[in-house]
Structure 1
Amino acid sequence: MSASTPAAPLLPDQPDARTRLARAAVEAFADRGFHGTTTRDISTAAGMSPAALYVHHRSKEELLYELSRLGHERVLEMVRESVARSEDPVEQLGTLVEDFVRDHAVVHTGARVINYELAALSEEHLAEIVAIRHDIDLVVRGVVDRGVAAGVFHTPDAHMTALAVLSLGIDVSRWFRDEGRWTPDEVAVHYRLLALRMVGADGGRIEP
């Protein structure tokens, strides 16, 4: 099993106004949902005046879009790096899933916002995010395709399997809690084994 990639923060640890607004927006959207959050909620939580948000963003929707774009581009880069660390499809898939799941556990609040508030985006902005998600899907599907071609994976539909793997990982952000029973590393290792079992690969045995 390869060394894990530590999850990078969704947002930089900086005190500037733009970052403070972004952090406040993530917490507010996660707590109240996009439509239940006002620009005043975000600005107040950031310790700024109600008009401050409009200095940096044209609208609440644009702020959500920028958070979504930043988060999805970050995940795309991460999965590409995960796959690049090996040429073995089994190791590639296992490492990718571990990194993806660990990341969605560590930054679960932000990941939950950028994955479950997409319906609030404008048609144009949603199309951009969907395109990045498609690229992420292509990375996973490529690994599964290579495993099938090499005879180490056994799945009748690589596309559906790739979507299922990603869906499982994304859902971690919905239920994971910092004070919960399992650590991000424990969840990541377990999901690695689940993914390998899904593709029928050796190394997917889960010990009791």
Structure 2
Amino acid sequence: MKRVLLIAPLALAACSQSEPEPTPTPSPTVAEPRTLVPAELDIDSLGAKIEGPQGPEPEAPLMLGGGEIGRIVSYVACPEGVKECLPDEMPQGTVYTFVHQITLDGVSAAEPTSGPEVVEAPPTLFRTTERAHGFNGSIGYSRSQAQTAFGSEDAVGVTVDDGRLIWRVTGTPDWQQGSTVTFWWQTTQPPAGPADAFLLEVMGNQISAMGPFPAEEKPAEAPAAN
């Protein structure tokens, strides 16, 4: 009996050491789109505009099927009180406001892609096709212009999906021809220059758009070794 009492604890210890518990593997979490509260743009809260190679308000055509169906005019402004907006001279963390004014002059509905059973109206939206670097959560549109273009000042909902910003018309998809709608957002990153980083969807058509887009964030520098 004494021999059994001495051997049993050693056998149990050997088993516990030879079979360690497996390390749990973390599973990636897919970020869901987040709904944001759109705000009205306060022009008085903006300072000077950045003067780029194409001037302070670069303009680009919106092309569809080889023809021009509208224009997009964009600009980037420094905060209120800044008389000359020079990103290289602005302190780190400066908030820049990106503004995009879209005017549609004439666009017809695209042909259905899935046959006569398609009954849901195609979406009307404006979005970034790239992650909005440095986005600080402030975003919105002109409510008075939305009233004219869509018949309601609350017609536009805003979401962020994997860092990409989306302004979606939640009521009627019709965009009153000849009307302008202004979309805006803020970031702590200055523009890197014009980029083909925007998309307009209207009446079943997808139209790429060019405009200023923020530079990517620089990775944090590692502390110097002593």
TM-score of Structure 1 vs Structure 2, range by shorter chain: under 0.3
Higher Rg of the two aligned structures: 2
Structure 2 length as normaliser, TM-score?
0.23
Higher-strand-fraction structure: 2
